[in-house]
Structure 1
Amino acid sequence: MTVRDRGLAVVVAVLWGANFIAIHVGLEHFPPIFLAALRMLVLAVPTVLLIPRPKVPLRWLIGYGLGFGALQFLFLFLGMYAGMPAGLASLVLQASGPFTLVLGALLLREQVRLRQWIGIGVAVAGLATIALLRAQTAALLPVALTLLGALGWAAGNLCNRLAQRDGEAVDPLHLTLWMSVIPPVPLLAVSAVVEGPTTGWVATAAAFSWDGLPGLAALLYLSVVATVLGAGIWTALMRRYPAGVVAPHSLLVPVVGMGLAIVLLGERPSVPELVAGLVVVGGVLAASAPGRRARADPQVSRV
């Protein structure tokens, strides 16, 4: 990679790491399920009006939207609302990588190499350590919810992969934008039942006041900066270089997320949690690192 493009990859990692700080701020102003719906709704409306729908099977587009856009953010936001620290959430969500490999092996009969299984085992050991540490302080539920969010992301990854395989000249960025059309309706329905039919809309109206500006800024960051700008740069890099060159930069996301959480939110993860986090990152790196064939193929998708 050129110095410029490597810098862009780092910028994306910073944008995505700061995403968790924005979620933390957003949850102070919006109900969690409604915020997940609103994040996608902000993208869905201009997408339907301005972006042609990718020519992919509808079932895979719906699966991508439900997994990546609905389940991931539903459980992630609920987990953080229940007390999951922003920095730790950015780390635990990396379980989506190993989850994707396992689901691909089980459901799509994709081959997983021994090194990848070892990486999965290492990552699971790190996550289990974090869960055990949290269980000792009665904070296991937020970890479990965040892991369910990672599982939803993994399911969305498989549908994304199948959509691009079965589609015609698929633009990955257009597919990502059209994914946002799927989640708003089911998430708004769940929000109406669980959080109340008017709670989220009252919070939205309050966001346009002086006190609500941080919540509004967080929403715009989640929708426009982290998703459109971040995904746009990442997609361009993935088109330009093999996945094995670009994808490892995503492991900077939890580093940025935890660092910003320490500086801006005053979070103080314990030493055992930090060590377990390093184990998780190492396992994810080993599990997601492509083999020789993948490194030579610029069309290989990021896990």
Structure 2
Amino acid sequence: MPRTRTALLTTIAMFAFAGNSLLCRLALKGTAIDPSTFTLVRIVSAALVLWLIRRTRGVGGGLGGNWASALALFVYAAGFSLAYVRLAAGTGALLLFGAVQATMIGYGVVHGERMRVRQWMGLLIALAGLVWLVLPRAVSALSTPVGASMLMLGAGAAWGVYSLRGRSAVDPVATTAGNFLRAVPFAVALSVATIGSVSLDGAGLAYAIVSGAVTSGAGYIVWYAALKQLKASSAASVQLSVPVITAAGGIVLLGEPLTVRLLVGSAAILGGVALVIAGRKAH
């Protein structure tokens, strides 16, 4: 039963993360909202919803989370939004999830977490599938602004750090609420620093609110709950499924084409993740 619950929570979290990617892409490519405002509205919306959830549950006590995790959360959210203004979707996904992998698995190995041969094979297959999936767009990375690439790499590393720190959370709701509330001043500071480029419309505002309230606030609570049962390597590898879910969402919601490359890449990613998880259970 605990494994089934962990699998369900992890699946929900991955769909929430994919939802964030789709909402961000829709907002920054199809509306007038600027990335700093999107980040601010997203973080404030998540903080408000999480505060309301705590009030509904009748939870008292001090604020959960901490400033270090809040900073990591902000760096991820801001870097993600700022980078996607200039990066192709495939290039951005490759940089983001590559950084997540390096951060989380590197941390696990340094701290004594050992992966079996089958797990390493699964990870390599999943990474190969990810490269295969985004290669056509990734080829253009040579012409991609260095600044945008560094922002996305930083966002991935920050997300890896945030996930690692979240593994010790006792109360996912309190911890996530505290982290989002503490991230608000950082987001306000970014908006003030970029006040000259502020832009907003109704559609962009709606996407940012949904991204914050639903796929971020609620989604991260679920992710924190799942993280308590996942090793760093497994937590990192399972997130490789997010680009696949995002691509599927693009087909359904944005009318993007279903290609052989997408099918092959998706099968490799999901199969590789399955090997990593299966190797953990066998061990």
- TM-score, normalisation: structure 2: 0.70
Give matches, 1:146-157, under 5 Å: 146-157=152-163
Match among 196, 204, 208 for residue 215 of structure 1: 204
Q: 1:282 to 1:111 in 2, by over 3 A?
A: same
Relative to structure 1, the CA distance from residue 275 to residue 152 in structure 2 (aligned partners, 3 Å threshold; closer, same or farther) is farther
Q: Partners in 1 of 2:86 and 2:125 — Cα distance?
A: 27
Secondary structure of 1:29 counterpart = coil
The aligned counterpart of 2:166 is 160
Q: CA deviation at 1:98?
A: 5.7
Q: For the structure 1 residues 287 and 12, does the alpha-carbon distance in structure 2 shift closer, same or farther, using more than 3 Å as the test?
A: closer
Amino acid at match of 2:104: T
User: What TM-score, normalized to structure 1?
Assistant: 0.66
Alignment RMSD = 4.1
In the TM superposition, 1:1-303 aligns within 5 A as 13-27=14-28, 28-44=31-47, 52-53=61-62, 61-67=66-72, 69-85=73-89, 93-95=96-98, 96-97=100-101, 99-106=103-110, 108-129=111-132, 133-138=136-141, 140=144, 145-161=151-167, 163-164=168-169, 170-193=170-193, 196-200=194-198, 203=200, 207=201, 212=202, 214-232=203-221, 243=230, 253-268=242-257, 271-272=260-261, 275-289=264-278, 291-292=280-281
Question: Taking structure 1 as reference, are residues 98 and 76 closer, same or farther at Cα in structure 2, changes over 3 Å only?
Answer: same
Q: Which stretches in structure 2 are left out of the alignment for 5+ residues? A: none
Per-residue deviation, 1:41: 2.1
What SS does the aligned partner of 1:134 have? Answer: helix
Identity among equivalent positions (%) equals: 24
Q: Greater shift after overlay, 230-239 or 216-225?
A: 230-239
Matching residue's letter, 1:183: A
Structure 1 residues 73 and 268: CA distance shift in structure 2, 3 A: farther
Q: Residue by residue, what CA displacement relative to the aligned partner does 1:79-120 show, whole Å, maximum 9, x if unpaired?
A: 3221433x88668755435641222323x3433433333333
**Alpha-carbon displacement from aligned partner over 1:21-40 (angstroms, at most 9, x marks no partner):** 22123322321133223211
Residue in structure 2 matched with residue 298 of structure 1 by the alignment: none
Would the aligned equivalents of 2:74 and 2:187 in 1 still touch at CA under 8 Å?
A: yes
Task: Show CA shifts across 1:205-252 (max 9, x none).
Answer: xx4xxxx1x22221221111112333445666778xx659x9798666
Partners of 1:10 and 1:73 in 2: how far apart? 21
Q: 1:290 to 1:99 in 2, by over 3 A?
A: farther
- Greater shift, 29-38 or 274-283, is seen at 274-283
Partner secondary structure for residue 46 of structure 2? helix
Q: Partners in 2 of 1:256 and 1:10 — Cα distance?
A: 10
